[in-house]
């Protein structure tokens, strides 16, 4: 009886370990980032967003919408001048939507705003990207 129980336990443990070792990696979804602007400063901020998304490695970024499972539609506004929080430079407002292939909005951000100041290293574009990434990581925990 002991031999049967010990053999059964061994087989259960071996099966469990085998299942853990051969776990299939989940395929990442392809993401296309859409930015509808030709403004040089906006495009630099969009490039910053792409770099942060690549570092995070949650989605696989693709270069064409036809290759994507999801699209991130990014709206970035850049404005120059004196604001209540800065004395010049370029201020940014950024918002994003994640949309599936059917056109359904899966997630929509708030509008993140930043003006150049000492707290963000006088790089407001990078500051709005950091705010968006913080909320994305809360919404989509690492797989």
CATH code at 28-138: 3.30.160.150
Distance in angstroms (rounded) separating the CA atoms of residues 91 and 128: 10
Sequence spans of domains, the chain: 28-138
Q: Which residue has the tokens 């950024």?
A: 94
Separation CA 129–CA 112 (nearest Å): 8
CA pair distance 67, 65, nearest whole angstrom: 5
DSSP characters for 26-47? PPPPEEEEEE----HHHHHHHH
Q: Tell me the pLDDT of the chain (143 aa) as tens digits.
A: 555 544 444 544 555 544 444 333 457 899 999 998 999 999 999 999 999 999 999 999 999 999 999 999 999 998 886 655 556 678 899 999 999 999 999 999 999 998 887 667 678 889 999 999 999 999 998 86
Distance of CA 113 to the CA centre of its chain: 18
DSSP conformation letters of 44-90: HHHHHHHHHHHHHTSSEE-SSGGG-SEEEEEEEEEEES--SS-SSSE
Token pair belonging to 26? 């989940």
Burial of 132 (0-12, 13-18, 19+ CB in 10 A): buried
Listed residue (73, 57, 60, 79) closest to 107, CA to CA: 73
**pTM summary value:** 0.75
| pLDDT score for 4 | 56
CA–CA gap between residue 61 and residue 67 (Å, rounded): 9
């Amino acid at each position: 009886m002991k031999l049967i129980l010990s053999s059964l336990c061994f087989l259960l443990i071996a099966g469990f370990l085998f299942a853990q070792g051969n776990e299939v990696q989940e395929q990442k979804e392809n993401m296309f980032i859409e930015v509808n602007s030709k403004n040089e400063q906006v495009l630099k901020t969009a490039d910053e967003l792409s770099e942060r998304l690549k570092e995070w490695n949650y989605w696989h970024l693709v270069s064409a919408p036809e290759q994507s499972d999801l699209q991130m539609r990014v709206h970035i506004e850049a404005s120059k001048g004196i604001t209540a929080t800065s004395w010049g430079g370029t201020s940014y407002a950024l918002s994003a939507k994640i949309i599936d292939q059917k056109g359904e909005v899966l997630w929509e951000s708030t509008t993140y705003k930043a003006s150049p100041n000492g707290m963000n290293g006088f790089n407001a574009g990078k500051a709005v990207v950091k705010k968006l990434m913080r909320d994305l990581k809360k919404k989509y925990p690492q797989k």
